[in-house]
Structure 1
Amino acid sequence: MSLTVYPNYMDIIQNPEALRSWKENITSEPYRSYLYAYPHKTSYRELERKLPLSELWSQEKADSLFLYMHIPFCGARCGFCNLFTLPDKRADVHTNYVDALERQAAQWASLIPNAPIARFAVGGGTPTLLQPDQLDRLFHIAQHGMGMDPSQASISVETSPETISTERLDILKSRQVDRVSMGIQSFVEFEADAIYRPQKPQEVERALRQLKLYQFPILNLDLIYGLPGQTLDSWIYSLDKALSYDPEELFIYPLYTRDHTIVKPEQIRQSGEDQRVSFYRVARDRLLAHGYTQYSMRRFAKAEAGSEKSLLPYGCQEEGMIGLGCGARSYTKTVHYSSRYSVGRSATASIIADYVASADYTHADYGIVLSKDDQQRRFILKALLHTEGLALRSYEERFTTSSLNDFPELNLLMHTDLAVIEHEVLRLTDEGLMYSDSIGDWFISPEIRARMESCVLS
């Protein structure tokens, strides 16, 4: 649903029937999309000219930076996945990729602002699919290539049950990793099979037992609700299994289907799509009862969970994100850029091959130049879709205007009890938080939506 459907929000507020209809549009399709970044990657296009990174970053004034490395390889593509990743276990392919990543870091190091790395994350794909020596190289590149100090940076690594080994965990521990995140999705073998995830419950529990021995400051587990054939009882079973390992953090995701995913929308409908709201409520209540704090629709964490280091500050509204590797995105204040995006196997393999063969990584040629409207919407969404909410003064300090004047349609959220303003913070209510994805989708600008809808993936 686009904002252009309602050009005059006052007409809605003054008409109870229109207001009720507006809220029904938001709440009737709570899982129409998953907006984890704005603008969405499907709005990226070839830039009008190649932008030198020295030019892009010269005006950035970040006090600290976020370094992200993308490893676009996994053991198998899950049925729900539309990430930039390629099922490929060949060690020589991985080595060639890490070689390219090291070349890219060497070229980027002198072009990025001389600010310390506050956060370092390695994602994918499955980074721990790499052989131990290549996995260790990633940290060497971050430290010696990009200047990341592991004693003052929060370090997060994604993994999977089948890649958990003593040798790999020894590396993560020695490299001072603070957070290990493992996607489980379900402890029920039938449900894992339904999303084409080659995973045995025994393998998951072996991996979890081994992970717990290393006592990383934060163990995060991911679960998915709304899987084909999933029942409320089996969802609670997976929740309780996860809780039995006492993770510091849990992410719960509704199942989505997207372009080029193996699982199709009709498979969700056959399983009872409407159950996802009730599954969410049950999980939320159960996690809160176990002492977790809710930070977003998806993220629940123990309030005391965190690194034992003295970490550098990094605000969620900052743009200083450096994305190394094919498929990684980088954010400056006015430009977001990356390599090209694909889901199909042949196109993804071709993009990775071009990245590995490249000798020059010093220009951005694919991404989006953010208008002021894009920057404002991004600022609002990054705050509003989390429980801390949008600090109205922070927006004013950034843009010298009022968010409610710039986007008066935000008042619709208050008039439908989806949000409140308390102590000058616009915050979603419990009901609003449940419909975060619909609210995020509603707030996409018409221009960005048009770009997303015209994107053709291969």
Structure 2
Amino acid sequence: MTSRDNTTSLRSWSENLRSEPYRSYLYSYPHKTAYRELEPKAQLSELWRNEPAETLFLYMHIPFCGARCGFCNLFTLPDKRTGVHQQYVDALERQAREWAPIVGDKPFARFAIGGGTPTLLEPYLLERLFTIAEGIMGLDAQQASISVETSPETVTEERLRILHEHRVDRVSMGIQSFIEEEAAAIYRPQKPLEVERALALLKREPFPILNLDLIYGLPGQSVQSWLYSLDRALAYEPEEIFIYPLYTREQTIVKPEQIRRSGEDVRMACYLAARDRLRGAGYQQHSMRRFSKQSANAAKQLLPYGCQEDGMVGLGCGARSYTRELHYASRYAVDRQATASIIADYVAAKGHDTADYGYMLNLEEQQRRFILKAILHSEGLELSSYKERFGSEALTDYSELHRLLDSGLALQSVDLFQLTEEGLAYSDAIGDWFISPAVRERMEGFVFV
């Protein structure tokens, strides 16, 4: 290929990537739609025996919420029945008792409860989750970062008291929009006064980190209305803000045509406006989504944890577990009936000693994961860390990374490869582009039940 051909090819690739900035949100790699039934099943005792990670991440998934939002394709079921929740927590405890001897020889540096909406649980069931983590799994709340997701309507003094008692240092609340009509457009039954009530309570009984989630690109939303919601969030001085572009996917309630009917796609304009507003307010950008500022509250002396090194223990139906070579979980669904069926199977299960659904990562997939977990964050990829882990050079193993450099989307210093400011804005397109052919084939072949 001639130099002119190379230039033309790079220009074509660059224009194509920039023309579709919102291809896919790659929050994990390999994506959950690449998981399949494992044959043979993996014995967990064997799988975890030689896991090299020095510290682990403990995650509990509570797959219940008050209502499914129009953008949501998570594994969650709208169900407020306390009896159903109790049966589920009983099953989660049984799983924890079975898993504790298998994974309990290494400390947990991180603990998170997500969903769904964990604080939808009655206070006594929320308390039980911490009893399971501390009393069965051996979590030391003095040296672990602890994060809990919540929603405005479930924030109460009693639930916050429980979180404080168990040394939770990060509470994350999804708001999405402070404008009632915009929330209604994504089928979110949320009143601005309810949001303000919850925020007032959270600020009255503060946690070291309050994180607020907002979504831009909602049907009917303008850059001005988006900045109104962002400014309302900033008024509460959260230590962390996540801004998410709206995605419509198979099985989500909101469909692509609803966004198109609402006018032009304002997502990039919203992102750029929010990025500048947050930086001006003293927030540091860590990724396309995450912005933070230093907490004024005293922090714990945390154990180290490297997300690139895996080591995640996922308890509960819908939770994923990561070892270096295998990522596994329960089956994935969005449809109400299918989700309810998978949860029922989990509650009725006699044991959880094998992994039967997941993705086995070969060397290439481990390398791609290592690169993606680094470059999609502003801190970037330490090239020496890659070489230490894999014994080779990242830019030699994956020469296509030079395209990011040549197109101005990344830069390289002596030991650091990181996205430029523009590159961060196109993180989703870059993440999608770097998916391996094998993983993409599995993702495209996934069939929702």
Flag whether TM exceeds 0.5 (same fold). yes
Deviations 1:57-80 (CA, angstroms, capped at 9, x unpaired):
011122111000000000000000
Cα shift at 1:303: 3.7
Q: Secondary structure at the match of 2:300?
A: coil
Q: Secondary structure at the match of 2:101?
A: coil
- Counterpart Cα distance in 2 of 1:97 and 1:304: 35
- Counterpart Cα distance in 2 of 1:13 and 1:311: 53
Over 3 Å counting, the alpha-carbon distance change for 1:287 and 1:50 in structure 2 is same
1:65 aligns with one of 39, 56, 69: 56
- Counterpart Cα distance in 2 of 1:440 and 1:361: 33
Matched, 1:37 2:28: yes
Map 1:318-357; keep pairs closer than 5 Å: 318-357=309-348
Matched, 1:124 2:130: no
Over 3 Å counting, the alpha-carbon distance change for 1:65 and 1:422 in structure 2 is same
Unaligned runs of 5+ in 2: none
2:369 aligns with one of 378, 382, 391: 378
CA RMSD of aligned residues (A): 1.2
Matched, 1:409 2:400: yes
- Counterpart Cα distance in 1 of 2:17 and 2:201: 43
1:265 aligns with one of 232, 245, 256: 256
Q: Secondary structure at the match of 2:51?
A: coil
1:251 aligns with one of 209, 219, 242: 242
Over 3 Å counting, the alpha-carbon distance change for 1:315 and 1:203 in structure 2 is same
Deviations 1:312-368 (CA, angstroms, capped at 9, x unpaired):
110121211000000000000100000000000000000000000011011100001
- Counterpart Cα distance in 2 of 1:376 and 1:121: 26
Q: What's the TM-score, normalizing by structure 1?
A: 0.96
Cα shift at 1:423: 3.1
Structure 2 counterpart of 1:212, one-letter code: K
Structure 1 counterpart of 2:79, one-letter code: D
**1:186 — aligned with what?**
177
Q: Secondary structure at the match of 1:155?
A: strand
Q: Secondary structure at the match of 2:238?
A: coil
1:106 aligns with one of 97, 100, 104: 97
Unaligned runs of 5+ in 1: 1-9
Deviations 1:153-191 (CA, angstroms, capped at 9, x unpaired):
000000000000111011011110000000000000000
- Counterpart Cα distance in 2 of 1:293 and 1:14: 40
**1:4 — aligned with what?**
none
**1:201 — aligned with what?**
192
Deviations 1:292-327 (CA, angstroms, capped at 9, x unpaired):
000000000004567611111101212110000000
Which stretch of structure 1 is more off in the superposition, 319-328 or 261-270?
261-270
1:50 aligns with one of 34, 41, 48: 41
- Counterpart Cα distance in 2 of 1:286 and 1:46: 46
Query: How many pairs are equivalent?
Result: 449
Percent identical among aligned pairs is: 67
2:219 aligns with one of 200, 209, 228: 228
CA contact (8 A) 2:104 2:138 kept: no
Over 3 Å counting, the alpha-carbon distance change for 1:51 and 1:201 in structure 2 is same
1:97 aligns with one of 85, 88, 103: 88
**2:351 — aligned with what?**
360
2:302 aligns with one of 283, 302, 311: 311
Structure 1 counterpart of 2:261, one-letter code: Q
Deviations 1:217-269 (CA, angstroms, capped at 9, x unpaired):
00000000000000111101000000000000000000000110000011122
Which stretch of structure 1 is more off in the superposition, 381-390 or 264-273?
264-273
Q: Secondary structure at the match of 2:207?
A: coil
- Counterpart Cα distance in 2 of 1:318 and 1:372: 13
2:384 aligns with one of 363, 388, 393: 393
Cα shift at 1:151: 0.7
CA contact (8 A) 2:208 2:295 kept: no
CA contact (8 A) 1:13 1:412 kept: no
- Counterpart Cα distance in 2 of 1:364 and 1:70: 17
**1:288 — aligned with what?**
279
CA contact (8 A) 2:104 2:137 kept: no
Deviations 1:381-423 (CA, angstroms, capped at 9, x unpaired):
0000000101111000000011111100100000000000023
Q: What's the TM-score, normalizing by structure 2?
A: 0.98
Structure 2 counterpart of 1:414, one-letter code: L
Cα shift at 1:14: 5.5
Matched, 1:23 2:47: no
